[in-house]
Amino acid sequence: MANKFYEWIDNRTGLNTFLKIALDEPVHGGARWAYVFGSGLIFLFILQAITGIVMACFYSPSSTTAWGSVYYIQEQTSFGWFIRGLHHFGSSAMIILAIVHFFQVFIYGAYKKPRELNWITGVFLLIFLMGFGLTGYLLPWDQKGYWATQVATNIIGTIPVIGDYVKVLHQGGSDYGNFTLTRFFTLHVFILPLSLVTFLFIHVALFRKHGVTPHWKISEKLLKERVDPFWPDQVFKDIVFAMIIYAILAGWVFWKGGAELQAPADPASNYLARPEWYFLFLFQLLKYCQGNLLIVGTVIIPMIGLIFLFVLPFIDRTSSNSPVRRIPFFATISTGMIGAIALTVLAIHHDAHDVHIIHQREDAEIQAARAVILAKKGIHPEGGMSIFLNDPVYLGEKIFKENCNGCHKLNGVGGENGPDFTNFGSREWLFGLLKNPKDKKYFGDSGIMSPVKLPEESLWDISEFLLSQSGNLLNTNIDSLERGKELTLKGTCAICHPIGDINAKKVAPNLTDYLSETWLKDFIKNPDDQKFYGTKNKMPGYEGKFNANELDSLVKYLLSLSKDRLLVSECIRQEPVKNTNNVSPLTPNIYFGILTEKYLLASK
């Protein structure tokens, strides 16, 4: 039955003959492991195509939906993170393999007459491959992709005369928006694949026409004698190689936990963009080509490299394939490669030691984790960024940076007129204050309070008690708290600081409900109130300058700075979704503070 059907098909299509031609191709000189790289690339391309098509079932290319749909693939589906991981790291694998293939072909001299067009189509394929990487990077519309791609489109803009036009055409307008995504998407899933398949077809057809280029040491005689059929001799090796690639790739995806998805693109942020690793050398090159020289890095050097690759088969006319006879060409290619590697290493090395970038990466990770939590409640139609609009911590941070950071230092950044807010409101912070209020980190010279002259143990106890009043201290130690209470109420503190009656006034700030949300709000509004600093105050009051929501957000943000506190905030604590059928097991109440720590630890 099956045979009959096969015969019927064969009679009408010539399938059998076609398969014979395809599979019985003689491999002169015998099947070899050295020939697996090309087919490995084809395997990876098919893998990219399949994973890409499945993701396209979920993806939605517009500036308001792109991030949300990728978030959905990543977090809400069962295998989405894995498929996306395969696709993401698969592109890197393709680049690596393409470089290996390139060198194998180069070393074997496989670009020489009559195979010039094999080589040239190959160079085109390499360009398309990089085009895939470039266009795909933007599609999630996250911070990383958005800002890195900005660099790329600006580079296009530096091409003389036509640059700006080409840039506008790519962006679909003068700035990034919906059309940027639809265009990049079209390039990524229609134009580039079609181009690549076309050139791949020619590349493979030409390869079939001319056959493999054997090792230069294999004698003519052996070439004639040893002929293996493509199937199964070479195919077997190709399959084994494909399995190895897939195993490594899948393992890598598991180890990395899938591809990264950063927070939604925020056009107002000043994110330091870094491209994918295989573009880093170009990126680093730009650092050395500043001002008028920019065009050297963006256009001239890459162009020279490309032109060299295109004309290589025509300038290398040596008759032998032996590398010894082709030293000048080896030298040129090696110099280019070593240069690219050196630039890449320099770029990585620089970023690994730049405090600013390290901080930013940590921030980006926290932001990404927060984005995922907030997005679980659904993303408003305004787009990915809208998840932050109602997030007090995000708004609070913004307000802090705009209004407070000038005087209050935070994590090493900011002014020194007021107390340092690093780890603000933690036991450690308060302990330090009690120990030496005149420290630069606290009140400095303007401080009036004198250091509390008690053993360190007691200072911790007092901190424990004072902070416990705010109600959101983590892991309160009752014994310590009781001792601290005793010390505070009966000791010298209460001489200057009223405590117990919220409205009582003495020379120093009222410590009733110290650092609670209400206390902080009252304080920020009127620090010169008699129950706080009174006439000794130096901080401007913010009564009337913030609306209730802003003040609330700021206070929540301040409380989130400390590792010792639980951030109890409606927005961040997940409200359980009412429709129980749809609750993912990952949705339980997650507190941002805890999650942050988890992510920071994981990133170290």
Partner 1 sequence: MEKSRRSFLKIISHILGGTLAAGILAPIIGLIIHPWLKETIYGTEDFIGIGNLDDFPVGIPKKMTVTSSKMDAWNIFEGLVMGSVWVIRQKDNSLKVFSTNCPHLGCGIDWGNDVNKFLCPCHEGVFDVNGKVISGPAPRDMYSYQTKVENNTVFVNYKNIT
Q: Considering the complex, state which of residue 55 and residue 452 has its C-beta at the smaller distance from partner 1.
A: 55
128 contacts 113 by C-beta, under 8 angstroms: no
Instruction: Check residue 472 for interaction with partner 1 (CB under 8 A).
Output: no
- Exactly one of 172, 229, 336, 534 binds partner 1 (CB under 8 A); that residue is 229
Q: Considering the complex, state which of residue 340 and residue 374 has its C-beta at the smaller distance from partner 1.
A: 374
CB of 232 to partner 1, least distance (A): 4
Q: Considering the complex, state which of residue 71 and residue 106 has its C-beta at the smaller distance from partner 1.
A: 71
The Cα 415–Cα 394 span in angstroms is: 21
CB of 31 to partner 1, least distance (A): 10
Stretch of 75-83, 109-117, 283-291, 493-501 contacting partner 1, by CB under 8 A: 75-83
Q: What is the dihedral of CA 239, 6, 227, 234, to 10 degrees?
A: 0
Instruction: Check residue 430 for interaction with partner 1 (CB under 8 A).
Output: no
Instruction: Check residue 242 for interaction with partner 1 (CB under 8 A).
Output: yes
CB of 86 to partner 1, least distance (A): 8
Helices (H), 160-300: 163-171, 178-186, 192-210, 220-225, 235-256, 280-288, 294-295
Greatest alpha-carbon span in the chain: 105
CB of 475 to partner 1, least distance (A): 34
Stretch of 7-15, 133-141, 170-178, 240-248 contacting partner 1, by CB under 8 A: 240-248
E strands, 43-134, where?
Answer: none
Judged by DSSP in three states, 227 sits in strand
Instruction: Check residue 250 for interaction with partner 1 (CB under 8 A).
Output: yes
Query: How many Å is the Cα radius of gyration of the chain?
Result: 32
CB of 592 to partner 1, least distance (A): 20
Residues 6+ apart with CB under 8 A from 581: none
Instruction: Report the chain's terminal Cα–Cα distance, integer Å.
Output: 62
Instruction: Check residue 378 for interaction with partner 1 (CB under 8 A).
Output: yes
- Exactly one of 236, 254, 288, 314 binds partner 1 (CB under 8 A); that residue is 236
Q: Which helix (H) or strand (E) holds 339?
A: helix 327-353
Q: Considering the complex, state which of residue 86 and residue 285 has its C-beta at the smaller distance from partner 1.
A: 86
CB of 80 to partner 1, least distance (A): 6
How many Cα atoms occupy the beta-carbon half-sphere of 162 within 13 Å? 4
CB of 36 to partner 1, least distance (A): 13
Residues 6+ apart with CB under 8 A from 410: 400, 420, 421, 422, 561
- Exactly one of 62, 77, 92, 332 binds partner 1 (CB under 8 A); that residue is 77
Instruction: Check residue 562 for interaction with partner 1 (CB under 8 A).
Output: no
For partner 1 (CB under 8 A), the number of binding residues is 44
Instruction: Check residue 114 for interaction with partner 1 (CB under 8 A).
Output: no
Stretch of 239-247, 290-298, 348-356, 393-401 contacting partner 1, by CB under 8 A: 239-247
Q: Considering the complex, state which of residue 87 and residue 203 has its C-beta at the smaller distance from partner 1.
A: 87
Q: Considering the complex, state which of residue 332 and residue 587 has its C-beta at the smaller distance from partner 1.
A: 587
Instruction: Check residue 233 for interaction with partner 1 (CB under 8 A).
Output: yes
φ/ψ of 266, rounded to 5, equals -120, 100
Which residues from 380-399 bind partner 1, rule CB under 8 A?
380-381
Stretch of 79-87, 328-336, 433-441, 511-519 contacting partner 1, by CB under 8 A: 79-87
Instruction: Check residue 535 for interaction with partner 1 (CB under 8 A).
Output: no
Instruction: Check residue 78 for interaction with partner 1 (CB under 8 A).
Output: yes
CB of 380 to partner 1, least distance (A): 6
Instruction: Check residue 54 for interaction with partner 1 (CB under 8 A).
Output: yes
Instruction: Check residue 232 for interaction with partner 1 (CB under 8 A).
Output: yes
Q: Say how many residues make up the chain.
A: 604
Q: Considering the complex, state which of residue 242 and residue 539 has its C-beta at the smaller distance from partner 1.
A: 242
Instruction: Check residue 71 for interaction with partner 1 (CB under 8 A).
Output: yes
DSSP state for residue 582 in the 8-state scheme: G
The Cα 509–Cα 470 span in angstroms is: 16
**Residue with tokens 């293939």, as numbered in its chain:** 101
CB of 474 to partner 1, least distance (A): 31
How many Cα atoms occupy the beta-carbon half-sphere of 38 within 13 Å? 22
Q: Which amino acid is at 327?
A: I
Q: Considering the complex, state which of residue 54 and residue 191 has its C-beta at the smaller distance from partner 1.
A: 54
Instruction: Check residue 27 for interaction with partner 1 (CB under 8 A).
Output: no
Q: Considering the complex, state which of residue 249 and residue 539 has its C-beta at the smaller distance from partner 1.
A: 249
The Cα 531–Cα 533 span in angstroms is: 7
- Exactly one of 191, 204, 239, 337 binds partner 1 (CB under 8 A); that residue is 239
The Cα 15–Cα 13 span in angstroms is: 5
E strands, 459-599, where?
Answer: none
546 contacts 552 by C-beta, under 8 angstroms: no
Residue 218 CB burial class (10 angstroms; 0-12, 13-18, ≥19): middle
Which residues from 308-367 bind partner 1, rule CB under 8 A?
none
The Cα 156–Cα 138 span in angstroms is: 15
The Cα 502–Cα 353 span in angstroms is: 49
Tokens representing 250?
């899948």
Instruction: Check residue 252 for interaction with partner 1 (CB under 8 A).
Output: no
45 contacts 94 by C-beta, under 8 angstroms: yes
Binding site for partner 1 (CB under 8 A): 47, 50-51, 54-55, 57-58, 65, 68-69, 71-73, 76-80, 82-83, 86, 229, 231-233, 235-236, 239-240, 242-243, 246, 250, 375, 377-381, 577-579, 581-582
